[in-house]
Structures are given as structure tokens and as C-alpha cells.
Amino acid sequence: MKQDLHEANRLSWNAATVAHNSHKGDQAAFFREGGSTLFPEEAGLLGDVKGLRVLHLQCNAGQDSLSIARLGAEVTGVDISDEAVDFATQLSQQSGIAARFVRSDVYDYFREAQARGEKHHIVFCSYGTLCWLSDIGAWARGVAQMLEPGGRFVFIEFHPFALVFDPAWKFHYDYFNEAPVPEEGVGDYVAESGDGLVREGYERGVENFANPHPSFEFTWGVGQVTTALSQAGLVIGRLDEYPYANGWKPFEGMRDIGGRRMAPPEGMPRIPLMYSISARKP
């Protein structure tokens, strides 16, 4: 693991999280009124979670964690950002939806949780998580260690093929990339996507956000991810690809084809923009 890069990313996420949440209005009221931030894809993959222990890795500011907890799960959310975990903890209290949030690098959490014998029925992560992981094999082994026998790993992510493009759909980044990719910092993708990532009541909030902290990303192809999970002992039941991105509009001309599913412009060939994996621990 590259702890120095993880620390840089923590600082970058702390700054970005403030900007992201500035666009989302009164989130506690949204949840008190029965709101959920889950898209149908992850809700379907999760299935009935009532009474189950769910570990939500890289949970960000906790909105999806609380949406899962509302369905009756006992949820633990883990994120590297102090700002995100503080916000999530406060949102849990203000919304009246119980969940536990822990500030930790996922690799540290795996080690500490394994030492105390912690196990879960479901490990879940979604949307923009893998690019922050410096060791995909250690991550997959950690996921497997956190699961009870018969437990499930549920994962949905933006497709790495889509990440080779710049905003104008020009090829720019390597699909195969062994080294961390330095960036100017976590951007305000919530503002860029507007009402795509805010279910209702988008607010202008922080404008022209420029992150003062650089960030570092890692590229993991679908083959690397599935191989790592398989080698960790998980049995992959499904791998699905989707020709749209839920909520996210990173490229020019993306259009909502219904349900905040964002697709390429009319006339452009369909390409995979998301994929999901459902796996089980024997």
C-alpha cells in the first residue's frame, strides 16, 4: 500500500466533501421524509437486507449507508475522510436512522476488524471506489475476510473503459496503467452532474471549487478486479455491464434516458459505462 498517497487523498476528499454536500440541501429532512439515495441497480443487487450486518466500504458522507439502514440492516460505514464520517454521523443523528460510521483507511480497517473477529453478512461498495485503492489484491482479501461463510459481496462501479476518455470523449488515459495517476484533486463532480446526483432540490452551494490538495488515482481493469476477488476465495455469481452511468455526467452531451441514467449523446455507439459484481463466500 502507498500510505503517503492515501494520506494525500484523505486531505483532498476532506476538501471536496464540503463542496459536494453544499449542493444537497437539507439531507436530514430528505431522509426523515422517507428518501433514499439508492439506484434500482444496487437495491436489486443487495436484495432483502433486513436483520443483516452490512459493511459499507468507502461510504463517503453516508447517504447510501443510511438508505440501506432504513431497509432494516445493521450498517457500518467506513471512509478515509474525516469530513465525510463527521457528516455521516451527524446525518444519522438528525435523520433518526441508526448506523455506525468509522474514519479509517480500508486497509487499516481490514486489519483491525480481522483482529477482533468482525464478520458481516454483506460487504458493499459503489461508484468511484476502486480508483482510490493502491493494492487490489489486498482489498479483495480484506473483503473476503470480512464476510461470514455464505456472505455476499455486492459491488457496482463506473466502468474502467469509460475512464479512458477526457470530457470531450477523446481518448486520453491508458486503460492499462501500473502507476498512480496524479490529479489536481478530487473535483466537484456533484456540481458537474447537477440534478443527476442530487435526487431533489439541487443547490448552487460552493461555486468554482478548486481543491487545494492533489489526489492520486489507480486504474484497475475488469479482469484485474474479478481475478483478485476470485483469488481471494469468492465465487462470482454475476458480472453485469450497463450502457449508462447512474447520475454521473462526466462527458459532453450526456443525456438522461430515464431514472437519472446518463447515456452518451444520440448517435454515439453504446459502450459500457458501469459494471456490477455479485459474489459469495463459500
Is residue 67 a contact partner of residue 89, using CB atoms and an 8 Å limit? no
User: Could you tell me the three cell numbers for 141?
Assistant: 482479501
Give this prediction's pTM: 0.94
Which string of DSSP letters, residue by residue, matches 176-191?
S--S-EEES----HHH
Q: Comparing 13-22, 35-44, 59-68, 95-104, which segment has the lowest mean pLDDT?
A: 13-22
User: Could you tell me the three cell numbers for 241?
Assistant: 455491464
CATH code of the domain made up of 3-280 = 3.40.50.150
Q: Any residues with CB less than 8 A from the CB of 4 and at least 6 apart, and which?
A: none
- The residue-averaged pLDDT of 161-189 equals 90
With 0-12 / 13-18 / 19 or more C-beta atoms within 10 angstroms meaning exposed / middle / buried, residue 3 is exposed
Q: Where are the domains of the chain?
A: 3-280
Q: Fill in the amino acid letter for 129.
A: T
| pLDDT tens-place string over residues 239-275 | 999 999 999 999 999 999 999 999 999 999 999 999 9
Q: Is 58 helix (H, G, I), strand (E, B) or coil?
A: coil
The end-to-end CA distance of the chain, in Å, is 27
